[in-house]
Amino acid sequence: MNYSGIGKDWFQKFMEAWTACALAMVQGNLSVFTWKHAITAGKTGLAAATAVVITKYLAKIDNRWMIAWLTGVMTMCADIVVHPTHFGEHWHEAAVTGVGAAFLALMLSGVLNKK
């Protein structure tokens, strides 16, 4: 396990969670996106990225599928804690956000880690 890329990993996970959260909050309509949405998504990204990176390095997880799953789960948990839902039950938006973050993590792991 290479620990030299912790900052890069954290930033990547932050951006995945931030993007998924921001898009879910505005339900894909970027014309209604505000600074309040950006700050709320930032809180979700901060919590999710920190949890993913700590778990990844403590558990020595180096599998892109497991990291994508972990990103989704941690983003969903962070989203539930950070703000109320904008649609459906209390967990619906968080689940959509988690799936979006996991999808981004999986796609970016293939693109960014090609050698």
Answer yes or no: is 16 within a domain: yes
**Considering its fold, how many domains does the chain have in total?**
1
Answer yes or no: is 91 within a domain: yes
The tens-digit pLDDT sequence of the chain (115 residues) is 666 789 999 999 999 999 999 999 999 899 999 999 999 999 999 999 999 999 999 999 999 999 999 999 999 999 999 988 877 788 899 999 999 999 999 999 877 666 5
Answer yes or no: is 68 within a domain: yes
Q: State which residues form the domain around 101.
A: 6-112
Both structure tokens of 71 = 């990103």
Answer yes or no: is 10 within a domain: yes
Answer yes or no: is 1 within a domain: no
Please give the model's pTM, rounded to 2 decimal places: 0.88
Q: What is the DSSP string of 46-96?
A: HHHHHHHHHHHHHTT---HHHHHHHHHHHHHHHHHHHS--SSSSTTHHHHH
pLDDT digits (tens, 9 = 90+) for 6-38: 999 999 999 999 999 999 999 989 999 999 999
